Amino acid sequence: MTTDDPLLKLEDAQVRQRVDPSGFHRLLERLPEQAREAWRMGLAADLGATPKRPSRVLLVGLGGSAIGADVAATVATDLSTTPVQVIRNYHLPPLDQDTLVILCSFSGNTEETLAAFDAVAEAGARGIAITTGGVLKSRALAAGMPTFSYDWPGPPRTGLGYSVFILLGILRRLEVIAIDDAEIEGGFGALDRATAAYAVESDANRAKTIGAWLHGGVPAIIGADMLEVAARRWAGEISENAKQVSAAYGIPEFNHNQLEAAARAGAEVGPLRFVILDAPVVHPRNRLRVTQTAEMMLAAGRQVQIANAGGNTPIEAILGACALGSWTSYYLGLLRDEDPAPMTVMDRLKRVLAQER
C-alpha cells in the first residue's frame, strides 16, 4: 500500500487521534452492552396502569431518537396485528383512549416531541416517555405518565441500543409484539459479531473497505425488504458522522421508479455510489431483485456494491446492517478529515429556531 492508500490511513492511530479527539469510536464499541442494558430496562421498568394490547401504537421521535422506533416498527410488521406507526412531526393523527403514544426524545427537549406530548394530554390518550431528561421528563413525571430515563454520554445517534431495545421490551410486555428471548439474544449476538468485525483494531475490515470505496463519491444506500430501515440509518449517519450528503432507498420500491434512471446508460447520476444491503432473511424475490438491480446498474456503468448483513432473523439482519453502517460512516469521516462528534450546522438551526419562538 502507498501512503495515499485510504486503508493505510484508517490503520493510522495518529490519524484517529487527530480527526477524532473525543474517541467517538469508543461509543460505537459499547453498542452491545448498551443493547443488553436497555432490554433489561424495558422488561423491568414501571408501566403504571398502561393497558395491554392497545388498539394502535404511535412511536414519536426525530433523528437518532426515531431510528429505534423505525426498527421496532419494522420488527412489529411481522410480529404483530397491532398497527405500529412512526411519527416524525409536530402533529399526531386523531387520538382516542385506546391509542398508546410512546414519546422518544434523547434530550427531552425535542420541540416536535414536546408538541406531541401536549396532544396526548389534550386527547386523554395513553402515553409513555423515553428520554435522558429535559422538559419531556419533567412534564411526563408531573402528568403521571410512565417515564423511562437513562444516562448515556454520547449523542443520540450512538444510543441505538437504548432506542431499539427499551421499545421492544415495552411492546413485548404490553403484548403488542410476540418476540421471544432467543430472537433478542440473536440480536445481541449480531451486535457482538459486528463490533468485533468492524472496530478499529480489525485491519482492513468490511466497514473500512466500504468507507474507502465511498470516499470521493455521494453514497446512495438501498435496503432490501426489512433493511430499508437500515438504509435510512446509513444515510443519516453518513450525513452526521462523515458530514457527507447521502440518500436512502428501498427494494422493491426502487425497482418501480429509481431503477429506470439508475440502470439507464447515459442517464446522469453524477458521483453516486450505490451500496445495496442484503441478508439471507430477505424475501427470495427481493433477493433476486438485489442481484438483478446490481447487474443492471453495473452494466450501465454505475458504481455498485452489495453488502450482506447476515443474520438468521429480521432483527439480526437489521442490527447487523445498522452496525456496519455506523462503522462505515465513522471511517468515511476519518478519510474526509471530519470529526464525527460535532453537529455545528444542526446546532445552529436549533439556536435560530429557539430565537423565533
Sequence ranges of the chain with CATH classification 3.40.50.10490: 6-20+204-335, 28-179
**Residue 4: its pLDDT value, please?**
80
**Residue 204: its pLDDT value, please?**
85
**pLDDT digit string (tens) for 110-166?**
999 999 999 999 999 999 999 999 999 999 999 999 999 999 999 999 999 999 999
Q: Is 231 left (phi over 0), alpha (psi -120 to 50) or beta?
A: alpha
Environment class of 316 (CB within 10 Å of its CB; exposed 0-12, middle 13-18, buried 19+)? buried
- The confidence band for 3, taking pLDDT boundaries of 50, 70 and 90, is low
- The confidence band for 304, taking pLDDT boundaries of 50, 70 and 90, is very high
Q: Is pLDDT at 357 greater than 80 in this prediction?
A: no
**Residue 159: its pLDDT value, please?**
97
What proportion of the chain, given as a percentage, has pLDDT over 90? 97
**Residue 45: its pLDDT value, please?**
87
Asked whether 99 and 125 are in contact (CB, 8 A), the reply is: yes
- The confidence band for 292, taking pLDDT boundaries of 50, 70 and 90, is very high
Question: How many angstroms separate the most distant Cα atoms in the chain?
Answer: 65
How far apart CA 179 and CA 117 sit, in angstroms, is 28
**What would the grid cell of residue 139 be?**
412534564
Query: Which residues fall within 8 angstroms of residue 92, CB to CB, at 6 or more apart?
Result: 58, 60, 101, 116, 119, 120
How far apart CA 162 and CA 167 sit, in angstroms, is 8
Report pTM: 0.97
| Among 323, 105, 324, 133, CA closest to 214 | 324
Q: Under CATH, what is the fold of the domain 6-20+204-335?
A: Rossmann fold (3.40.50)
Pick the CATH number of 28-179 from 3.90.650.10, 3.40.50.10490, 3.20.20.80, 1.10.1580.10: 3.40.50.10490
Asked whether 102 and 60 are in contact (CB, 8 A), the reply is: yes
Three-state DSSP state, 188:
helix
How far apart CA 312 and CA 308 sit, in angstroms, is 12
Asked whether 134 and 105 are in contact (CB, 8 A), the reply is: yes
Query: Which residues fall within 8 angstroms of residue 91, CB to CB, at 6 or more apart?
Result: 115, 116, 119
**What would the grid cell of residue 349 be?**
438551526
| Among 326, 41, 306, 25, CA closest to 191 | 326
Query: Which residues fall within 8 angstroms of residue 217, CB to CB, at 6 or more apart?
Result: 271, 272, 273, 303
Q: Rg of the chain's alpha carbons, rounded to an integer?
A: 20
**Residue 2: its pLDDT value, please?**
44
Q: Is pLDDT at 1 greater than 50 in this prediction?
A: no
Q: Is pLDDT at 237 greater than 60 in this prediction?
A: yes
**What would the grid cell of residue 178 be?**
410476540
Q: Is pLDDT at 287 greater than 50 in this prediction?
A: yes
- The confidence band for 325, taking pLDDT boundaries of 50, 70 and 90, is very high
**pLDDT digit string (tens) for 158-195?**
999 999 999 999 999 999 999 999 999 999 999 999 99
Query: Which residues fall within 8 angstroms of residue 304, CB to CB, at 6 or more apart?
Result: 273, 274, 275, 276, 294, 297, 298
